[in-house]
């Protein structure tokens, strides 16, 4: 309905609501997401922002077209139940003649269009979608999926008929096994609400270069952007506020650097400490003194990335990661470059013959014990030895190795750690802070993640075991006239009364 008089072409939403039965109306953040034209878009970043409702309604956009096919995915089937239940309210209300098949988990609309609800609990489940095609692919809680699972559905996203648009939409909170790749692809790649353009050259059968272009974007949303939930469930905000700090920051504020289940909560990357080596594990590179020991770590990979790290050990036993070589396919997290061990060994030799911190040094190699296996012929260790790269088997005790990380990452009262990483090692800095715990083996790292650098470094740390060290917190400024540290001060002084 339009207003009369001046500006009569303006839509009057309040008047419309008085005269129409509105089943659902988007919040401003949901509306911003629905306006996006990019092929990929991620919505959310914190709890209560209306993510699931948005995804369900977005899937309806083209149901008036007979050929339209859409799929909405969760990691496990039980997680789909709430989505299906909510779809019965929204879809059944908006399209009374639409039918839901309880056994096949699919909505069929009067036009003939279909929306499927599916899960992908195991990575091999992606093969179930081979030969299928969808105009709309929706991932609910994207951080529960691996990059391979998400990327595979790209090939399934194509138009089913004339007049249809093919695109992908996803929702997410910080945390989960896929936290690292989702953060790298959508959060840190560009400022929120800024399109990310990516060009990829490919060759056609005639050898001509064709440059393809794709785009994606992140649209943040939080509980504070969902007035209906705040009004209908006023205790929800209080529930989130009472959670542990990391979980609260992730779910309430969408903090992608602090999240529930994070293994190494003590990890710090603070530019203020790059030169001083205080209260930061990441530091500026420097010339390694000649008397320091050099260690090389190796975790084998082929279809998955291999990882090689070089470490310097100072006179008091502090370990510095000074260089890395990571065999990951470009822009494809956790996907290996598939090169043979001999080729990897030659790259190692080339680096050690030219890097000023490595050239001419005696280097001790410590590797994944599996590379010494000879049950299928010549071992990987023997193949590399022929090129002049030698290894000793590392200690593969997983829990003890994880604890060595904690002991070394702990800061003393002066802000000094027993483990540092040069800023020139971006893959370590990218992957280690994003590791989460395994849901079943709760003391161990989830091995479904991109954990190759973690394992490689773990072998090195287990070769130089240290005693327990307790982590100290950085002192707060004595004077804080702007209350910049008020929340942190209250957290440290909080008293729980029983």
Please state which of the ranges 204-208, 326-330, 401-405, 407-411 shows the lowest mean pLDDT.
Answer: 204-208
Which residue would you say has higher pLDDT here, 34 or 495?
34
What's residue 441's pLDDT? Answer: 85
Q: Does position 233 have pLDDT exceeding 80, yes or no?
A: no
Query: What is the torsional sign of CA 37, 42, 46, 49?
Result: positive
Output the average pLDDT for the chain: 87
43, two tokens: 């919505």
- Which helix (DSSP H) or strand (DSSP E) does residue 228 occupy? helix 227-232
What's residue 184's pLDDT? Answer: 87
- Please state, in angstroms and rounded to a whole number, the distance separating the CA atoms of residues 150 and 148: 6
- Please state, in angstroms and rounded to a whole number, the distance separating the CA atoms of residues 246 and 263: 11
User: What is the number of helices (H) and of strands (E) in the chain?
Assistant: 15, 16
- Please state, in angstroms and rounded to a whole number, the distance separating the CA atoms of residues 469 and 472: 9
Which residue would you say has higher pLDDT here, 235 or 201?
201
Q: Does position 185 have pLDDT exceeding 50, yes or no?
A: yes
Going through 314-439 in order, the beta strands assigned E by DSSP cover 319-326, 363-367, 392-393, 419-422
Answer left, alpha or beta for residue 293, where phi above 0 means left and psi between -120 and 50 means alpha: beta
**pTM for this entry:** 0.71
- Please state, in angstroms and rounded to a whole number, the distance separating the CA atoms of residues 186 and 191: 9
- Please state, in angstroms and rounded to a whole number, the distance separating the CA atoms of residues 308 and 363: 13
Going through 400-488 in order, the beta strands assigned E by DSSP cover 419-422
Q: Does position 195 have pLDDT exceeding 70, yes or no?
A: yes
- Please state, in angstroms and rounded to a whole number, the distance separating the CA atoms of residues 258 and 291: 38
- Which helix (DSSP H) or strand (DSSP E) does residue 45 occupy? strand 40-45
Q: Does position 142 have pLDDT exceeding 50, yes or no?
A: yes
- To 5 degrees, how large is the angle CA 392–CA 394–CA 396? 155
227, two tokens: 């007035």
Q: Of 246, 263, 264, which Cα lies nearest the Cα of 255? A: 246
**Contact partners, residue 35, CB within 8 Å, separation at least 6:** none
- Mean of pLDDT values over 268-287: 95
Asked if residue 445 lies in contact with residue 402, where contact means CB atoms within 8 angstroms, the answer is yes
Q: What is the dihedral of CA 100, 105, 110, 114, to 10 degrees?
A: 170
- Please state, in angstroms and rounded to a whole number, the distance separating the CA atoms of residues 383 and 371: 10
At residue 45 the predicted structure's pLDDT band, cuts being 50, 70 and 90, is low
For the purposes of burial, counting CB atoms within 10 Å of the CB of 404, is it exposed (0-12), middle (13-18) or buried (19 or more)? buried
Q: How does pLDDT run across 447-457, given as a tens digit for each residue?
A: 888 999 999 99
Q: How does pLDDT run across 83-115, given as a tens digit for each residue?
A: 999 999 999 999 999 999 999 999 999 999 999
What's residue 493's pLDDT? Answer: 56
At residue 23 the predicted structure's pLDDT band, cuts being 50, 70 and 90, is confident
What's residue 396's pLDDT? Answer: 95
Q: How long is the chain?
A: 498
Q: How does pLDDT run across 306-352, given as a tens digit for each residue?
A: 999 999 999 999 999 999 999 999 888 899 999 999 999 999 999 99
Which residue's entry shows tokens 């209306």? Answer: 50
Find the largest Cα–Cα distance for the chain. Answer: 87
- Mean of pLDDT values over 186-204: 87
């Amino acid at each position: 309905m339009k207003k009369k008089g001046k500006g009569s072409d303006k839509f009057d939403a309040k008047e419309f609501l008085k005269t129409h039965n509105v089943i659902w109306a988007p919040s401003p953040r949901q509306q911003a997401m629905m306006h996006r034209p990019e092929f990929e878009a991620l919505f959310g970043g914190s709890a209560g922002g209306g993510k699931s409702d948005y995804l369900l309604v977005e899937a309806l956009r083209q149901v008036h077209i007979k050929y339209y096919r859409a799929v909405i995915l969760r990691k496990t089937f039980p997680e789909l139940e709430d989505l299906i239940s909510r779809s019965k309210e929204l879809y059944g209300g908006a399209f009374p003649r639409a039918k839901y098949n309880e056994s096949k988990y699919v909505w069929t609309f009067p036009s003939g269009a279909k929306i499927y609800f599916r899960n992908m609990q195991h990575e091999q489940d992606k093969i179930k979608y081979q030969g299928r095609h969808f105009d709309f692919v929706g991932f609910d809680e994207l951080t529960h999926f691996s990059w391979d699972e998400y990327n595979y559905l790209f090939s399934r996203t194509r138009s089913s008929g004339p007049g249809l648009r093919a695109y992908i939409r996803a929702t997410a909170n910080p945390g989960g096994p896929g936290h690292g790749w989702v953060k790298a692809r959508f959060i840190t790649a560009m400022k929120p609400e800024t399109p990310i353009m990516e060009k990829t050259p490919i060759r056609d059968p005639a050898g001509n270069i064709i440059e393809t272009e794709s785009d994606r974007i992140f649209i943040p949303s939080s509980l504070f952007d969902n007035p209906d939930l705040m009004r209908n469930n006023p205790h929800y905000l209080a529930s989130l506020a009472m959670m542990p700090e990391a979980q609260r920051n992730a779910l309430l504020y969408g903090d992608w650097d602090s999240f529930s289940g994070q293994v190494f909560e003590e990890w710090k990357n603070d530019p203020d400490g790059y030169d001083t080596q205080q209260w930061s594990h990441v530091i500026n590179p420097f010339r390694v003194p000649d008397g320091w020991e050099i260690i090389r770590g190796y975790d084998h990979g082929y279809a998955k990335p291999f990882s090689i790290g070089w470490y310097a050990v100072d006179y008091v036993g502090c370990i510095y990661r000074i260089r890395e070589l990571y065999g990951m396919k470009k822009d494809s997290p956790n996907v290996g470059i598939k090169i043979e061990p001999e080729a990897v060994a030659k790259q190692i030799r080339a680096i050690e013959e030219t890097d000023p911190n490595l050239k001419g040094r005696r280097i001790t190699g410590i590797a994944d014990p599996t590379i010494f296996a000879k049950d299928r012929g010549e071992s990987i260790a023997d193949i590399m030895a022929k090129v002049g790269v030698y290894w000793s088997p590392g200690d593969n005790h997983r829990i003890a190795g994880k604890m060595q990380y904690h002991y070394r990452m702990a800061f003393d009262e002066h802000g000094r750690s027993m483990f540092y990483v040069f800023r020139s090692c971006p893959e370590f800095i990218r992957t280690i802070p994003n590791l989460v715990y395994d849901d079943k083996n709760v003391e161990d790292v989830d091995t479904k993640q991109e954990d190759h650098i973690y394992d490689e470094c773990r072998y090195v740390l287990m070769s130089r075991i240290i005693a327990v060290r307790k982590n100290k917190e950085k002192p707060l400024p004595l004077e804080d006239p702007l209350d910049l540290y008020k929340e942190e001060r209250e957290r440290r002084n909080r008293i729980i009364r029983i």
